[in-house]
Amino acid sequence: MTSLVRETALHSRKFIQPWVLMQQYDVLIIGSGLAGLTLALKVGQDRKVCLISKRGINDGSSNWAQGGIAAVLTDDDSTEAHIQDTLIAGAGLCDAAVTRLVAEHGRETVEWLIAEGVPFTREEDNSGFHLTREGGHSHRRIIHAADATGHAVQKTLAEKVQQHPNITVLEEHIAVDLITAGKVNMEGSACLGAYVLNNLTGKVSTIAAQQTVLATGGAGKVYLYTTNLTFPRVTVWPWPGVLAAALPIWSSSSFTPPACTIPRLSLSSSPRRCAVKVACSSCLMADAL
């Protein structure tokens, strides 16, 4: 998988320089939260995956999520009710198609997490899973693992990813730029991988991949105030083209900024089209790879 080829220097426009390690994979996933881990396990079935995280594998918002996951899990509930509740709670901000997509896939996604071994809390008589009712939900449909659901899901999936023969995990590696065709004097706008800084050594290496996925988490720091942690925040928005690729999904993703007040970042920059893909933890899916 790792081959002796050529290197790139940080900020250099030249992709090819002699005799330094470049790593090659089928899929490069940037981010090790719930979105990145889920995608890695799914595409890792038949492809070589590299998953990078700018801190430790569990250092992200996913590990701190508490309440639980909403899905239609009982016979007296319905997907239509879940969709309506979400649209009402969203006060006109929800994309109707995305809302439907997420609600319709809720049950199978939760069943997948259960099959992977996530220890969701069960009823006292062990008859089923304990469901709570939160916010604008009209039914009890929040499955949870005590009051540390994110930690339970993150820990379970991270352990699976770390043991997976097709997945290489690089912690303390931060993607500093995407490699697009134009940067290496090639035709088109395809994304060829990323330049990655090793936090511990200070060296930048090249990770080439047929497909690159941004699973870099919420955009809480777009706002002046957020309850998100500082370090797992996304650090890729200024990259050319990324904004265009990410905005449609970002606008439908959960990034828990209840304290947000003032937009901090101008979104009026001129993004170019880019072949990068974005993984969204809200639906645990990326564009079909």
Ligand X SMILES: Cc1cc2nc3c(=O)[nH]c(=O)nc-3n(C[C@H](O)[C@H](O)[C@H](O)COP(=O)(O)OP(=O)(O)OC[C@H]3O[C@@H](n4cnc5c(N)ncnc54)[C@H](O)[C@@H]3O)c2cc1C
H helix or E strand, kind and range, residue 96? helix 96-104
CB of 176 to ligand X, least distance (A): 7
CB within 8 Å of 70: residues ≥ 6 apart: 82, 106, 134, 137, 141, 142
3-state secondary structure of 83: helix
Binding to ligand X (CB under 6 A) within 30-59 occurs at 30-36, 52-55, 59
C-beta atoms surrounding 132 within 10 Å: 14
Burial letters 257-266, b for 16+ CB under 10 A, else e = beebeeeeee
- In this complex, which beta carbon is closest to ligand X, that of residue 127 or of residue 231? 231
Instruction: Single out the residue of 44, 106, 193, 217 in contact with ligand X (rule: CB under 6 A).
Output: 217
> Mask: binding to ligand X, 170-209, rule CB under 6 A, as x and -?
----xx----------------------------------
Q: Using CA atoms in the order 80, 86, 88, 94, what is the torsion angle rounded to 10 degrees?
A: -110
257 sits near ligand X (criterion: CB under 6 A): no
C-beta atoms surrounding 124 within 10 Å: 7
251 sits near ligand X (criterion: CB under 6 A): no
> Mask: binding to ligand X, 128-167, rule CB under 6 A, as x and -?
----------------------x-----------------
Interface with ligand X: number of residues (CB under 6 A) = 38
CB of 153 to ligand X, least distance (A): 9
- In this complex, which beta carbon is closest to ligand X, that of residue 166 or of residue 228? 228
Q: Using CA atoms in the order 206, 56, 42, 64, what is the torsion angle rounded to 10 degrees?
A: -140
Binding site for ligand X (CB under 6 A): 30-36, 52-55, 59-62, 64-69, 150, 174-175, 215-218, 227-228, 232, 234-236, 254-256, 281
